[in-house]
Structure formats: structure tokens, C-alpha cells
Amino acid sequence: MNSSRRFLVIVHDVAPPFAAAIHTILSQLQPLLHEQISAAVVPCWHGCSLTQADTAFQQQLTQFGEHLLHGYHHHQPSRTGWVSRLTNQANEFTGLSAHEAEQRLHWGQQVLQEAMGLEVAGFVPPAWQWGGVTPALMSRCDLRFGVGFHAIYGVAGGCWHLSTWSWDTGRIASLGYVAHGLGLLQWALRPRAIPCLVFHPADDERGFLPLGVRLVRSFLNRGYRPIMFRDVVS
């Protein structure tokens, strides 16, 4: 398959507090992509775990074609440093030991399976920070691949390069325009990399959603085909 003719679209921070913004994002993307949209789901957003009572959210999850594990809490209150400050301490796995990281992956898998009935094969580290997570650790947690900012990594080997657009840079909303330029630059420098468009709930409020939708339309008009992360790895 020619990587220049396929692209990925994923919504990060999929959790009940952002259900309204996620609904808006899906209402813009589904007419263009149908079910070819991935969800990076947070099982216990800032300590509030998903339960079987979250039926409305469970219904929203069915609108995605694929579900990936996006950390456990998506928050690390004890960490300092510029990434923590910029992302409002979203870098959950920074500073965790391998044992602590493995625990959180297992807990996340358990919540998604028991509360939402989801079997997930991929992991997306919050704030793109892997911490102690390695391919071997992901394999022990029944995950087949991890998705970083620059590439998809298979636990059994294999690396697929990405050119990523992600407009939510944390505390400073205007940096989203810089991030958009970074996506264009990556794509220009690595034309064989797979374009990956990352939407966040904040994109709706901050006005980046129309920009992302125009980019989706641009790829479709050029003959690019939306696919799932599992399709790349398999």
C-alpha cells in the first residue's frame, strides 16, 4: 500500500467531561470519514473512572471505528518541568517506573473492558510522553502497538513514520498555529510519512476545528484514503 495515499484521523482525550465537544467534532468529521475515525480513550480522566452507568458515553464510543488506550488518568500532579507546565501536567507517564507504568496500562485496559466492553490494541501516551513504556511492556499489557508524535511502533517490531498535525498544545492556545505549521513542515520533509490528524476537545472552543476539517477535505480531494492505526500495523 502506498503511504502517500492513506491518512489517519484520531480524536484524543475521549472522556465523558468532553462529550459535547466530541459530539461537535464527530458531527464535522463523520460526513467526510464515516467510521474511519479513531478514538484515544482516557479510562479514568483525572481520577474519575468510567463505569457501566456511563451509557451515553458508551453510545458515543460506538461512533468511532477504532479505540486506543490514552493513558489512565491523563494527569500527573507531582511532576514539574516545561512539558508539565505547558500541558497542565498532562504528561502522566513522565517519571513513572516501568512497574508503575505497567500498572496503569493494566488498570486502563481493565476499565475499558469491564465498563465499556472495549478491547483495545493500541496505546497513545498522554502529552506524547512515553515515560517507562516500552514495546515489551506494552506486549505484557496485551497491546500490539503504540502511537507517538513521529511514528507508530509495533511491539513485535516495525516502525511507521507519521507527519502529525495536533493543534492543542496545552495552556497557550495560539501555539496551535505553530503546531499546524510544524505538521506542514514534517510532511514536506518526509513526504512518504503517513499524515496523522489529531483532534482534541479544545480545538472546538479555540477555533481550530474548521482548520482541521479543511485539512481532511484537502487530503480527500487529493485522493487520500482514511484508515485505522490497526490497518497500518497489520
Report the DSSP pairing between strands 48-49 and 66-69. unpaired
Task: Return the DSSP state at 166.
Answer: E
Tens of pLDDT, residue by residue over 113-131, are 999 999 999 999 999 999 9
Report the DSSP pairing between strands 44-45 and 225-227. unpaired
pLDDT of residue 83: 79
Q: Domains of the chain (ranges plus CATH)? A: 3-233 (3.20.20.370)
pLDDT of residue 79: 65
Cell triple for 28: 464535522
Residue for cell digits 465498563? 115
CA 91 to chain centre: 13
For 108: left if phi > 0, alpha if psi spans -120 to 50, otherwise beta; the answer is: alpha
Residue type, 78: S
Q: Three-state SS across 97-161?
A: CHHHHHHHHHHHHHHHHHHHCCCCCEECCHHHCCCCCCHHHHHHCCCCEEECCCEEEECCCCEEE
Expressed in percent and rounded to 5, the helix, strand and coil fractions of the chain are 40, 20, 40
- CA distances to 48, 64, 180 from 33, rounded to whole Å, are 31, 10, 21
Per-residue tens of pLDDT for the chain, all 234 residues: 344 699 999 999 999 999 999 999 999 999 999 999 999 999 999 999 999 999 999 999 999 999 999 999 998 877 667 777 777 777 888 989 999 999 999 999 999 999 999 999 999 999 999 999 999 999 999 999 999 999 999 999 999 999 999 999 988 999 999 999 999 999 999 989 999 999 999 999 999 999 999 999 999 999 999 999 999 998
**Rg of the Cα atoms in the chain:** 16
pLDDT of residue 16: 96
pLDDT of residue 75: 80
pLDDT of residue 4: 60
**DSSP string across 182-226:** HHHHHHHH-TTSEEEEEE-THHHHHT-HHHHHHHHHHHHHTT-EE
Find out whether 128 and 149 touch, Cβ atoms under 8 Å: yes
